[in-house]
Structure 1
Amino acid sequence: MSKTYQQIARFLTQNPNEVAVHSVNAIAQRCGTHASSFVRFAQALGYSGFKDLQLLFQKRLETAAPGFEARIRALEDELVNRDDPTDFGFLRELVVKDIAALQSLLDDVDPAQLSYAADLLSEANTVYLVGQLRSAPVAEFLRYMLTMIGKRCVMLDPSGGLATHMSKTMTKQDVLVAVSFRYYATEVVSIVHEAREKEIKTVAISDSTLSPLAKSADAFFAVPEHRHTFSRSIAAPSCVAQAIVLATAARLQSGSAHPEIPIVTQV
């Protein structure tokens, strides 16, 4: 796809409820492109026009759970102060969006994918981890938790330019866990694609089903970002990461219904 069509595709997949209820002009304005581009995009997919494509999103909305934007508005109403100009307003806005994003996980995460990811990690000889730029904290969090439950793991550290070379030591008995969001780190994408070619199982956490990680992952978790701003939070992907490790811990700790990650003073 052209860059414009890629931009439109990302907006459609990450904002399906807005696409269902707004006019093409309003949607185009939110997306930052021209309405005519949306019409041509729909026609390129075989639809007569944008309204024909929009029907799919409207049918989905008839049975869908409340969307991200609706949750934000409801939470803002509960917290009263919707336009807080103070420094504390930054915290309030982040908290509101994170609560809505975390609630969305219950609708968006496939339970079967979560179970499959935990099976892969628990059975793996070694878990390799990779995440760069804004994704790095999530990968580091995974390393900490996996180490605490006694699972052997290796961080593919980009320092010294060794990440891709370290990844070549992976075998079919290992599992790769990759975390990447827009704009996707080239090295991470390359490592994931190479793992697929070597038939190494991969668990990926990203921001969209259009992510370059999606086509190579065996277990994939899309955590959409609904605002492309400086203050993009990692609360939701970190929650997904922790859920995967807890499910893995339950398998490693003799099927415990209450798996634990011991704190440092307990180790």
Structure 2
Amino acid sequence: MRKDATEQTAPENYEELIRLIHERHDEMSKTYQRISVFLTQNPNDVAVQSVNAIAERCDIHASSFVRFAQALGYKGFKELQTLFQKRLATAAPGFEARRKALESELQDRQDQSEYSFLRDLIVRDIASLQDMLEKTIPEELALAADLIEDAENVYLIGQLRSAPVVELLRYILTMLGKRCILLDAGGGLATHMAKTMKPEDVLIAVSFRFYANEVVNIVEEAEKSNVPVVAISDSTLSPLAKSAKVLFSVPEHDYTFSRSLAAPMCLAQALTVAVAARVQHDVAEPRIPTVTGT
């Protein structure tokens, strides 16, 4: 970050702090960027855990958190942490609190059976879905649906673990009569196909850590060409954020084996239901046309 950062006035509330982190994120070191992501995705944990515990979770030395706080104008991490503690007084329970509550309700059993793996995933997904419901801004959901409805063509891109999300979007939106172009990695043509996008189109991009370079590059090119971008990612500090007209941040939490797609899949379905309500002029019961075989 800037060398004169410690001379500035430190943000006085949580909202100002997060705004400053977003403004400075691109010029931060890789370590500071990792700290920023953790702070913005886990505000309740930051409020109640010691700096050593937070540092251990991030696999970053505690002294880096102290220097990070000082670079933003604070005397130390404790002073920065106070803002998170004030926020917690009025904030909804975070992901971990919900998960622990759900585990208690379902009588957590300490076993290693196949059923216990299923149960653990379901408990985490329920908590994640509740988190997403509270953090999604209704107006942004409506704007995204409007952009998709009005678009001449809907371009879609998502690679690796994000691919199933855009495949679902392509299937449902095609069934709703929207012209969809999937920018897949096959044949190395995604970047060239993306050059056909126009301002009358829309690009839906899905990417989570670790972000696929091709996806990030295409999103940035879309912005330069005045193509509106609807992005689904894991953080407001995602490289997709600065180019997106609408960004849906679906924070990812630690899983023992893999990160679940339950929340982003649910968000994708919500978008398509909203589009269906518009194109079918039936807000009460929008439907996906049924495919029948002969």
Indicate the TM-score class for this superposition, using the shorter chain for normalisation.
over 0.9
Q: Distance in 2 between matches of 1:82 and 1:40?
A: 41
Q: Which residue number corresponds to residue 217 of structure 2?
A: 190
**How far is the alpha carbon of 1:255 from its aligned partner?**
4.4
Q: Distance in 2 between matches of 1:32 and 1:237?
A: 27
1:177-256 aligned within 5 A: 177-227=204-254, 229-256=256-283
Superposed CA deviations along residues 202-225 of structure 1, whole A, max 9, x for unmatched, are: 000000011000110001000001
**How far is the alpha carbon of 1:45 from its aligned partner?**
1.3
1:60-209 aligned within 5 A: 60-209=87-236
- Whether the 8 Å CA contact 1:129–1:139 is kept in 2: the answer is yes
SS in 1 for 2:248: strand
Runs of 4+ in 1 over 2 A off after TM superposition: 81-84
Q: Distance in 2 between matches of 1:142 and 1:194?
A: 22
- Whether the 8 Å CA contact 1:131–1:178 is kept in 2: the answer is yes
Q: Which residue number corresponds to residue 45 of structure 2?
A: 18
Q: Distance in 2 between matches of 1:33 and 1:82?
A: 32
Q: Distance in 2 between matches of 1:41 and 1:30?
A: 16
- Whether the 8 Å CA contact 1:15–1:226 is kept in 2: the answer is no
Q: RMSD of aligned C-alpha atoms?
A: 1.4
2:72 to 45, 53, 57: 45
**How far is the alpha carbon of 1:257 from its aligned partner?**
2.0
SS in 1 for 2:275: helix
What TM-score does the superposition give when structure 1 sets the normalisation length? Answer: 0.97
- Corresponding letter in the other structure for 2:287: E
Q: Distance in 1 between matches of 2:60 and 2:145?
A: 41
Alignment of 1:28 onto 2:55:
yes
After the TM superposition, which of the residue ranges 86-95 and 123-132 deviates more from structure 2? 86-95
Query: % of aligned pairs identical?
Result: 67
Alignment of 1:57 onto 2:80:
no
SS in 1 for 2:292: helix
- Corresponding letter in the other structure for 2:136: V
After the TM superposition, which of the residue ranges 211-220 and 56-65 deviates more from structure 2? 56-65
Name the structure, 1 or 2, with higher relative contact order (CA <8 Å, separation 6+): 1
Q: Distance in 1 between matches of 2:165 and 2:50?
A: 37
**How far is the alpha carbon of 1:37 from its aligned partner?**
0.6
What TM-score does the superposition give when structure 2 sets the normalisation length? Answer: 0.88
**How far is the alpha carbon of 1:34 from its aligned partner?**
1.1
Q: Distance in 1 between matches of 2:141 and 2:286?
A: 16
Q: Distance in 2 between matches of 1:229 and 1:131?
A: 23
SS in 2 for 1:128: strand
Superposed CA deviations along residues 67-96 of structure 1, whole A, max 9, x for unmatched, are: 111110011011112422112211111111
After the TM superposition, which of the residue ranges 220-229 and 175-184 deviates more from structure 2? 220-229
Q: Distance in 2 between matches of 1:30 and 1:169?
A: 44
- Whether the 8 Å CA contact 1:68–1:100 is kept in 2: the answer is yes
SS in 2 for 1:265: coil
**How many residue pairs end up in the alignment?**
267
**How far is the alpha carbon of 1:228 from its aligned partner?**
5.8
Query: Mind listing any 5+ residue stretches in structure 1 that lack a counterpart?
Result: none
Q: Distance in 2 between matches of 1:252 and 1:81?
A: 45
- Corresponding letter in the other structure for 2:218: I
**How far is the alpha carbon of 1:266 from its aligned partner?**
8.8
Q: Distance in 1 between matches of 2:255 and 2:105?
A: 25
Superposed CA deviations along residues 93-133 of structure 1, whole A, max 9, x for unmatched, are: 11110010111111111111100000000000010000001
